[in-house]
Amino acid sequence: MKYHFPASCIVCAGTTDSIAAFIASGAKFPGEAVTSLGSTLVLKLISTNKIEDSKYGIYSHRLGNLWLAGGASNTGGAVLKHFFSSGELENLSAQIDPSKLSNLDYYPLLAPGERFPINDPHLSPRMKPRPNNTAKFLHGMLEGIARIENRGYYLLKQLGADNLSLVYTTGGGSVNDTWRQIRKNFLRVPVIIPHNIEAAYGTALLAMKSIK
């Protein structure tokens, strides 16, 4: 009555743009997840249990009868862009064999401090030793971020979430085929690019489900 909608108008609950984009990806079953590889690394996993831990900045949103648990790391694409141009990332990635390990134990950060999956405001970036071969340096960086992603999903599991079964990947880093294979090697589950990640599409799916 307040907004003078016609009686035939169906009003459905909405959601945030990030959750709508998650819904758009096609993830729908417990254990399915979306990793966003933008400036930072953001994980969201469908869980049968509500997972929250302020120590790690882990939160859960209701998703139907399930929960969407997530956390965000300070690592991500911003670290890569600090060292490499877009062209360099493309050219150097093509020189990397993702089936082999770099044997570099990096924790890529732009500045000290991490929140998830390690909660340590003083955690120092670890990107040494730096090899003379620039492609190998990038290899170590890509592996380091993949290792953090894997550790994040492992932490969610430790806190009561479902076993990871599938990862939809979004963001600028998702289109790097070499990196996607490296991540698949660490996660040991399929890592695929969804057909749609638009929040508007996810909102439409949410509305459609509400009126069925």
Q: Tell me what the pLDDT averaged over the chain comes to.
A: 93
Structural domain boundaries enclosing 124: 27-193
| Least confident interval from 23-27, 100-104, 150-154, 198-202 | 198-202
pTM for this predicted structure: 0.89
pLDDT at 1: 66
Same domain, 144 and 208: no
Q: Are residues 47 and 12 in the same domain?
A: no
Number of domains forming the structure of the chain: 2
The answer to whether 69 touches 44, Cβ cutoff 8 Å, is yes
How far apart CA 193 and CA 167 sit, in angstroms, is 9
Are 33 and 48 found together in one domain?
yes
Same domain, 111 and 164: yes
| pLDDT tens digits for range 112-121 | 999 999 999 9
- Residues 46, 8, single domain; the answer is no
- Give dist(CA 204, CA 110) in Å, integer: 37
CATH code of the domain in which 36 resides: 3.30.420.40
**Cα–Cα distance for residue pair 117/42, rounded to 1 Å:** 11
- Residue 12 shares a structural domain with residue 85: no
Q: Are residues 172 and 118 in the same domain?
A: yes
What is the mean predicted confidence (pLDDT) over 27-52?
Answer: 95
